[in-house]
Copies of this chain bind each other. A is one copy, B any other.
Amino acid sequence: MTASRVVLFAKRPTGAPTADCFEMREVELPPPAKGEVQVRNLWMSVDPYMRGRMFDLGPSYASAFKLGEPLSGRAVGQVVASKSAGFQEGDFVFSDLGWREAFNADPEVHPLRKLNLRGLPPEAFLGVAGITGLTAWVGLLKLTGLRAGETVLVTAAAGAVGSVACQIAKLKGCKVIGSAGGPTKTQALLEQLGVDAAVDYQAHSGRLTEAFQHAAPDGIDVCLENVGGEHLEAAINVARRYARFALCGMISQYNRISEPYPVRNLIMICGKELRIDGYLVGSYEDCLDEFLDEVCQWYNNGSIRSVETKFLGLEEAPAAFMGLFSGENLGKAVVGLA
């Protein structure tokens, strides 16, 4: 028997999630049965979409978490014992069985993807080469059709998606404006991600339009937006004619229990002939191989980096998740489990 700890969904949050929404339990795993593999997780991901799965009612991003059951989410692990023909001990695997240290699973029943690291560290496949990287790549390259010389605004630019988006836009020859909360993060945008201008939205609350205008006096051509509310409104205000927006989230709105922020300038969508594409990265999984080829090449030739906030130990996973909403993490938040 193998000991593994697992985090259960203990209480539905009202507003921002709190520590008492999570409960750690220790379980014993039997050796894998015929057809199964046993995987020890190396890294797990915490992501904003998980907040949506904590609601009881209404359509959300994915099926709802059940109270008293283990949470789940993306993880990278390594096979420690295999009774499945397709997997060998030592194989790296990608699964949606995060929030636990180890698990047994039958790959015929539960999707496990074998991972070719191609020289990248395993945790990169939860960030720059993972779903958040894919989100940035799809939004900019498949939806907005980014062109060299354009001005690109990335909101939540120090976040998991934004930190990759800034780098892709720079790689493609664009001028990049990034917004983030606080001087530490805006400094990181300038120093670690090479953006051309950084806007500290905390210092410009209620005056974001002016701050964006100052950073992009000729307006923006493209916006990768995942904050919503005042950020979206200000981005529309500074959009040039025919600007394209890719919206992959609205993190400022997820925890709101009262009225959402009322965006009041939508008439500009007509007058400026804007295109706004909302998307969920799950609809673009057929792009994964193309994305991985490109991003691994960029990573290995040094033209893109992985920006991560690392938490160590499963007991830190709730704090890592809560940090997504308090804006404390820089880049992708990952939790080391081994």
B271 touches A280 (CB 8 A): yes
- Cβ of A263 < 8 Å from any Cβ of B? yes
- Binding-face segment, A67-75, A181-189, A242-250, A290-298: A242-250
* Chain B contacts for A232, CB-based, 8 A: 266
Nearest B residue to A271, CB-CB: B61
Nearest B residue to A256, CB-CB: B267
Out of B260, B273, B283, name the residue touching A264 (CB < 8 Å). B260
A267 and B278 CA atoms in complex are apart in Å by 9
Nearest B residue to A266, CB-CB: B263
- Cβ of A109 < 8 Å from any Cβ of B? no
Contact with B along A253-278 (1 / 0, CB 8 A): 10000011111111111111111111
B283 touches A273 (CB 8 A): yes
B283 touches A279 (CB 8 A): no
* Chain B contacts for A259, CB-based, 8 A: 264
A270 touches B279 (CB 8 A): yes
Contact with B along A95-108 (1 / 0, CB 8 A): 00000000000000
* Chain B contacts for A275, CB-based, 8 A: 275-278
- Cβ of A60 < 8 Å from any Cβ of B? yes
A265 touches B260 (CB 8 A): yes
A271 touches B267 (CB 8 A): no
* Chain B contacts for A266, CB-based, 8 A: 228, 232, 250, 260, 263
Shortest CB-to-CB span from A219 to chain B, Å, is 11
A283 and B269 CA atoms in complex are apart in Å by 14
A267 touches B279 (CB 8 A): no
- Cβ of A59 < 8 Å from any Cβ of B? yes
* Chain B contacts for A267, CB-based, 8 A: 228, 250, 253, 260
* Chain B contacts for A262, CB-based, 8 A: 262-264
Shortest CB-to-CB span from A42 to chain B, Å, is 30
A52 and B275 CA atoms in complex are apart in Å by 21
Contact with B along A49-90 (1 / 0, CB 8 A): 000100000011100000000000000000000000000000
A261 and B265 CA atoms in complex are apart in Å by 9
Shortest CB-to-CB span from A73 to chain B, Å, is 18
Known: A259-B264, A274-B277. 15 other contacts (CB 8 A): A60-B271, A61-B271, A228-B267, A247-B270, A248-B270, A250-B270, A253-B267, A260-B264, A260-B266, A270-B278, A272-B278, A273-B280, A275-B276, A275-B278, A276-B276
Could you give 27 example pairs across A and B, Cβ below 8 Å?
Answer: A52-B271, A60-B271, A61-B271, A228-B266, A232-B266, A247-B269, A247-B270, A248-B270, A249-B270, A250-B270, A253-B267, A260-B264, A260-B266, A261-B264, A262-B263, A262-B264, A263-B263, A268-B278, A270-B278, A270-B280, A271-B280, A272-B278, A273-B278, A273-B279, A273-B280, A276-B276, A276-B277
